[in-house]
């Protein structure tokens, strides 16, 4: 298999253009934004994340080709519930943007790499993911990579549609 690395997302037009191209595909925006964003919306959104929010943004590179994106951030949800025993919880959102790299196991390789990165860089106790319950493909991939479902709750997507969210966790392995 190939090699995965994370490349820091920077404030360059080409980076916003690539994000716009990826986020214009239904298989991305269905899960990530729930609607197609304009180029200006993409640029504004990721500039705000890059300069204003406490998130680290990366391109996922596979064999020296940018194929996807991940944003990593500290979990700070008030719905901590079953997670109270953890002090340092991180979460991420991920997608493979290049269609030719879907269903080839590269998502799993990327998830393993990102998990190790988070445990080593941020000293996380556990990692949380929160996909929509109807996103079976993502849930299966996460379960295959050691995440387990610990809860479900009702919430809203980015355009206000009601969704069931699956709370998944992967604890740091000693």
Q: Encode pLDDT of 1-33 as tens digits.
A: 689 999 999 999 999 999 999 999 988 888 888
Could you tell me the two tokens for 116?
A: 């190790």
Q: Encode pLDDT of 41-63 as tens digits.
A: 999 999 999 888 689 999 999 99
Rounded distance between C-alpha atoms, residue 7 and residue 76, angstroms: 25
What percent of the chain lies above the pLDDT cut of 90? 71
DSSP assignment, residue 111?
Answer: H
Nearest to 113 by CA among 63, 60, 64: 60
DSSP assignment, residue 97?
Answer: -
Tell the burial category of 26 from Cβ atoms under 10 Å away from its Cβ (0-12, 13-18, 19+): exposed
CA 32 distance to own-chain centroid: 9
Could you tell me the two tokens for 53?
A: 């929010």
Rounded distance between C-alpha atoms, residue 60 and residue 70, angstroms: 7
3-state SS class at 114 = helix
3-state SS class at 110 = helix
Give pLDDT, residue 173: 80
pTM for this model (two decimals)? 0.91
Q: Supply φ then ψ for residue 73, to 5 degrees.
A: -155, 160
Give pLDDT, residue 152: 93
């Amino acid at each position: 298999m190939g090699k995965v690395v994370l490349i820091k997302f920077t404030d360059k037009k080409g980076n916003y253009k690539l994000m716009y191209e990826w986020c214009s595909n239904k298989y991305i925006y269905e899960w990530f934004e729930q609607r197609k964003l304009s180029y200006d919306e993409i640029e504004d959104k990721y500039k705000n994340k890059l300069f204003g929010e406490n998130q680290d943004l990366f391109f996922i590179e596979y064999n020296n080709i940018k194929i996807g994106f991940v944003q990593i951030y500290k979990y700070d949800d008030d719905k901590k519930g079953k997670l109270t025993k953890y002090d340092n919880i991180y979460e991420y959102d991920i997608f493979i943007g290049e269609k030719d790299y879907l269903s080839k196991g590269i998502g799993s390789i990327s998830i393993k790499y990102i998990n190790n990165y988070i445990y080593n860089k941020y000293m996380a106790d556990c990692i949380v993911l929160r996909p929509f319950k109807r996103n079976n493909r993502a849930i299966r991939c996460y379960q295959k990579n050691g995440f387990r479902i610990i809860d479900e709750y009702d919430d809203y997507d980015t355009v206000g549609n009601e969704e069931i969210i699956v709370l998944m966790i992967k604890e740091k392995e000693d």
